[in-house]
Amino acid sequence: MPDARPPLPPFTRETAARKVQAAEDAWNTRDPHRVALAYSEDSVWRNRDTFLTGRAAIVAFLTAKWAREHEYALRKDLWAYDGDRIAVRFQYESRDEAGRWWRSYGNELWEFDEHGLMTRREASIDDVRIDEGERRIHGPRPEAERGLSFPLQ
């Protein structure tokens, strides 16, 4: 039996928001192994045009992602929830190898098992080139901003 990853479904607004914040916190560590522990062993992903299955594939994907997306910093906001599903909108900023800054906007659909592990993740993401002076996301979310929505533009 897998270790439980509370909060567990069915989600309330409060528990769904805690799940989203926990995901944001983990992704901001940029530690592929830590992030992968939130997913079931056979978790299925769609990330843009990439399709993955399983924790090993997730670790490999995230390792490559954070090797090319420097100074990655993320914000996630709860969009909706129902039973064992959560919808999230997110933004992250990162710098590429050439030093160009990008803001990536996206939506994720999550589905969880009874242990609170994510069994399915579907992410649609668009990238916008920004100047360094336009950056808004500088590292993990400060404690005072937890629970606040992030502006779209």
Q: Which token pair is 145?
A: 């901003």
**Quick check: 125 and 109 in contact, CB under 8 A?**
no
Q: Summarize pLDDT for 14-69 with one digit per residue, the tens.
A: 999 999 999 999 999 999 999 999 999 999 999 999 999 999 999 999 999 999 99
Q: Is the pLDDT confidence value at 153 over 90?
A: no
Separation CA 85–CA 113 (nearest Å): 9
Cα of first residue to Cα of last residue in the chain, in angstroms, is: 43
pLDDT value at position 145?
A: 87
Q: Name the percent of the chain lying above pLDDT 70.
A: 97
Give the tens place of pLDDT for each residue, 121-136: 999 999 999 999 999 9
Q: Mean pLDDT, the chain, as a whole number?
A: 95
104: Cα separation from own chain's centroid: 12
More confident residue, 150 or 108: 108
